Amino acid sequence: MRRKLGEDTGYMDQNRRRILKIAAFAPTGLLLPWHGTQASNRERNLSFYHTHTGEKLSVVYHDGREYLPESLKTVNEYLRDFRTGDIHSIDPKLLDQLYVLQQATESRGTFQVISGYRSPRTNSRLRHKSSGVARKSLHMQGRAIDVRLTDTSTRNLRKAALAMKSGGVGYYGQSNFLHLDTGRYRTW
């Protein structure tokens, strides 16, 4: 079946537009800031709700020129290991991944955090309970996060993350969350 140019194709066109929007961030350097390309000059902000602690956070973490140290410190404290209270630096590139995903999906929602930083002790305990926890998890380096987005399906969030082709993308459909990290590109 051939479609005429400009004909409404519904759902497929919406997905295509979202993928193109992700690609549009690439020239600004925001899509791949960890590969040494120049970052966008836009202010970057994120909103979070932690599913285990009930805490909320809305933060501008980059002013368009540079990362804001006090905001990054606040993010580090917020994404602490909620089981032990241990705090670790969170990779700002991880925040950029979240920001790009939110822009690409045209979301105005809040990221629901399932897991941010994990201490080695917590990671070890979780490994004994589940085979899905990596022994050398990037959560222990502050380079991974497990999230969902309030106004975007986790499936669509996954599609946008896969289109970025940056870092790890793990989809947990039954538990309804997405794992993102700043490691090498891989999927599961």
Nearest residue to 178 via CA among 87, 112, 88, 80: 112
Looking at the domain assignment, is residue 1 inside a domain? Answer: no
Which residues span the domain enclosing 18?
11-187
**How many structural domains is the chain composed of?**
1
Looking at the domain assignment, is residue 122 inside a domain? Answer: yes
Looking at the domain assignment, is residue 48 inside a domain? Answer: yes
Which band of pLDDT confidence, cut at 50, 70 and 90, is reported for residue 132? confident
Looking at the domain assignment, is residue 4 inside a domain? Answer: no
Which band of pLDDT confidence, cut at 50, 70 and 90, is reported for residue 64? very high
Nearest residue to 173 via CA among 150, 156, 151: 156
The pLDDT assigned to 14 comes to: 53
Looking at the domain assignment, is residue 83 inside a domain? Answer: yes
Which band of pLDDT confidence, cut at 50, 70 and 90, is reported for residue 129? confident
| Burial class of residue 188 (count of CB atoms within 10 Å of its CB; 0-12, 13-18, 19+) | exposed
Residue 85 has which token pair?
């209270």
Which band of pLDDT confidence, cut at 50, 70 and 90, is reported for residue 41? confident
Looking at the domain assignment, is residue 3 inside a domain? Answer: no
For residue 159, the domain's CATH number is 3.30.1380
pTM of the entire predicted model: 0.80
The pLDDT assigned to 51 comes to: 98
The pLDDT assigned to 61 comes to: 98
Looking at the domain assignment, is residue 2 inside a domain? Answer: no
Looking at the domain assignment, is residue 6 inside a domain? Answer: no
Q: What one-character-per-residue DSSP string does 51-83 give?
A: TTT--EEEEEEE-SSSB-HHHHHHHHHHTS-TT
Q: Does the pLDDT value for residue 111 go beyond 90?
A: yes
The pLDDT assigned to 34 comes to: 36
Q: Beta strand 186-187 with 168-172: parallel, antiparallel or unpaired?
A: parallel
Q: Does the pLDDT value for residue 112 go beyond 90?
A: yes
Q: Does the pLDDT value for residue 26 go beyond 70?
A: no
The tens digit of pLDDT for each residue in 137-159 reads 999 999 999 999 999 999 999 99
